[in-house]
Structure 1
């Protein structure tokens, strides 16, 4: 069982007892890192200032390699199948832009796909003559597996699937999608930026071809970090759209040799301090016990889904059968950004998800924006009750 006192003691935001205790409910945006993440990153920045970035990085080569090992352990993969990146969006794009497309090819997007993914798909369709199509949602909001089965044919080259959308607690089926897509030779690219760190991720069980994730959300790492997983036998066949002297070697005046594994999706230059901090964040989660953390997040989200509907004027907007740690809601007559700002005045942090982030889903439901509360394991139930009391006060106009 997790120790709430240890969790809070590990977080600088709670260290100053003279300041009001914050209620932090934005781990779906950019979570609060534990002290070890700060210490690791700052220590390396100081070392760079002492001896220069090249020497400082050379001292940490084993530690940098260990970041991939930690990530691989978390998602049941091999370190060679992990490419470290500066964001989930970059990781997703690096894979997506490497998938060969031609006129008439089809790209399928989930109804809850994120704006960055959809924009990239539309851009490539415009450039190649491929077609972008949305997979309908079932009545409960999840991707409609039966509808997908009816859409698949040999022209489908890639299925883009969001595991957990940015605007609510929905969890999409993944393994079923992977098996159907593979039946026609299509690739499955899983956007796991909102699930990695709060839900169990096993790439072998999910049967995805690639997975992208960020460090700053539920993993509690620094901003500017993320990773891409690529199925090992697939990575060896793909050529990324951009290469440098890390992702490939210049072996002859007119010849280069690609890296043999997922590192072909990496560039040589990167933020070493942030990457080491990211590794510390993943190891911190592994040391706590991922299943304990996932369970704690689920319990806190469930608590909110019971309490919020009891407040007059509040509507929980989450879809799906089983749900994640993201709780979305609206307050009658008050714009979500105003609710967010009024809560911030009370030292409570939530965020707002706008229609443009998940255009298809939000348009289908007639929503312009929703408030998003995303409690991590370090949030106490007393915090949650304080939050719901303040939401009630805002809803009542007090």
Structure 2
């Protein structure tokens, strides 16, 4: 399976939490899905391009669950989150957006700006992996809860199905961010029963940048619309806007096509290998470095070395590609990593 991906020439690649390696077939399939329609029918390539974006939506549904109609391409997670928030109605006595202070900062930035729509952002500092924490913070004034499935700086997994159940029982709209889990942890949107989901193909899905997505099982009416949010984008009546009958109402203006053509190859490659297979491989490689229980953790080993500079130098000298957040090294093992990669890392950390 290693041979399925474009690997850097030397050293362990440990950045799947940031940008996963693309499949070798991505170039060929991108040529066929994006450039060939343009070259064969200049100016008339939209029907094939739109079919390619439907392929993207279908691939997401196949891997993550739900109906294709409830999936919509998005430029990134931030845009997806704002689109969802803009479609909600809040009241003065129920207007809080609750999320962990450990969530990815971009989510917090979006929630802060949503205060112009009548929301109030409330961050909490407790353990996002403990359902008791969520039970305490989901109070009667909460309109929306935003939970990261996996937290990028700690690899802590939130109990998202339980959070969604709490929210549902209390009339709170639930949004789950799977940017750090899609492709490495099993996901089934129908089993979770959250109200919405946002994510990205850049990381464990190995799909490159620019291919975000959202899933929503409700008929929300977002504010940031465009002609591709229309029931019939090619009607061209400036006085008559009708929301698309499915999740395409979140699409907005003229869409990018290239990122989704590229990302579809990554999604289908991951689906073909199997997320459970990837997760078992990830756990086996991490165990060669740290044999402790990984229950409640994502795919990234967040390691605090005694001597940060010495450890980073050792990893760099070994050709390792990794990153650092504060006093934490982030090291991610995907299906394209090997036992040799893990043993090299273990030696550097020792």
Report the TM-score when normalising by structure 1. 0.79
Match of 1:306 among 285, 288, 291: 291
Q: Deviations over 1:278-310 (max 9, x none)?
A: 111111112222321222223223333239xxx
Match of 1:13 among 7, 22, 25: 7
Please tell me the root mean square deviation across aligned C-alpha atoms, in Å.
2.5
Match of 2:51 among 62, 68, 74: 62
Runs of 5+ in structure 2 lacking a partner?
none
1:396 maps to: none
Q: Where in structure 2 are the equivalents of 1:346-357 lying within 5 Å? A: 346-353=318-325
Q: Deviations over 1:123-155 (max 9, x none)?
A: 222x24533223452xxx444423433443442
Q: Does the 8 Å contact 2:157/2:298 carry over to 1?
A: yes
Q: Where in structure 2 are the equivalents of 1:145-294 lying within 5 Å? A: 145-231=131-217, 234=218, 236=219, 238-248=220-230, 249=232, 254-294=239-279
Secondary structure at the aligned position of 2:335 is classed as coil
1:323 maps to: 297
2:316 maps to: 344
Deviation at 1:98, TM superposition (A): 2.7
2:104 maps to: 114
Deviation at 1:218, TM superposition (A): 0.3
Correspondence 1:297 to 2:282: yes
2:336 maps to: 378
Deviation at 1:223, TM superposition (A): 1.1
Deviation at 1:102, TM superposition (A): 4.5
Q: Deviations over 1:327-380 (max 9, x none)?
A: 111222435xx8546533431111122xxxxxxxxxxxxxx4411001101101
Cα distance in 1 for residues equivalent to 2:208 and 2:198: 16
Secondary structure at the aligned position of 2:288 is classed as helix
Q: Which moved more, 1:291-300 or 1:378-387?
A: 291-300
Match of 2:22 among 33, 38, 42: 33
Q: Structure 1's 143 and 289: CA in aligned 2 closer, same or farther, altered over 3 A?
A: closer
Q: Size of the alignment, in residue pairs?
A: 346
Report the TM-score when normalising by structure 2. 0.89
Q: Does the 8 Å contact 2:97/2:122 carry over to 1?
A: yes
Q: Deviations over 1:99-142 (max 9, x none)?
A: 233444211112421101112212222x24533223452xxx44
Q: Deviations over 1:159-188 (max 9, x none)?
A: 010110011221110111111111121101
Q: Deviations over 1:218-247 (max 9, x none)?
A: 00012111210111xx1x2x1112111110
1:83 maps to: 72
Cα distance in 2 for residues equivalent to 1:13 and 1:152: 44
